[in-house]
Amino acid sequence: MFDLPLSTTLLVFGFPAFWILYTLGFLFLTRNWKRDEGNGAGQGDAP
């Protein structure tokens, strides 16, 4: 892609793709933080 060797393509585009997935996973797992915090109760410690 973009006339780059495969390894360079993975470096340039693979890492950002990984971080996007990581962030989406984080947002999904923590979707109840605000609500639970508002309740004032201990609701576990994810993630």
Partner 1 sequence: MNPTVLVFLVLYFVVVLSIGFWAMRRGAGGDLENYLLGGRRIGPVVTALTLQSTSMSGFMFLGAGALGYVEGYWGLWYAAGDIGGGVVNMSVIGRRMRKLSKLTGSLTPIEYLEKRYPSAAIRLIAGGLTVFLLGSYVLAQFIAGGKGMALVTGLPYSVALLIAVGIILLYTYLGGYLAVAYTDFFQSLVMITGVLWILIAALVEVGGLSAANRAIAALEPSLVSVWGRDLGYQGQWGIALGAVLIFSVGYMGWPHVVTRHMAMESPSTARKAGGYATVWNLLFVPAPYIVGVLAILILPEIGDPELAIFEVARKLLPAAVTGVIMAAIMAAIMSTADSLLLQTGSIAARDLYERFIDPNASERRMVWVSRLMVLAIGAIGYLVALFQPPTVFQVVIFVTSVLGSAFLPAYVCAVWWRKANSPGALASIVAGASAAFLWQFLDLEGASGLHPMVAGLLASTTAMVVVSLATQKRHPVPQAILDLMAESANLGTAAVEPR
Residues lying near partner 1 in the complex (CB under 8 A) are found at 2-5, 7-8, 11-12, 15-16, 18-20, 22-23, 26-27, 30, 33-34, 36-37, 39-45, 47
CB of 6 to partner 1, least distance (A): 10
Cβ–Cβ < 8 Å for 1, 13 = yes
CB of 13 to partner 1, least distance (A): 10
Cβ–Cβ < 8 Å for 33, 41 = no
Question: Which two three-digit tokens encode residue 34?
Answer: 């605000």
CB of 24 to partner 1, least distance (A): 9
Question: Which two three-digit tokens encode residue 10?
Answer: 């993975």
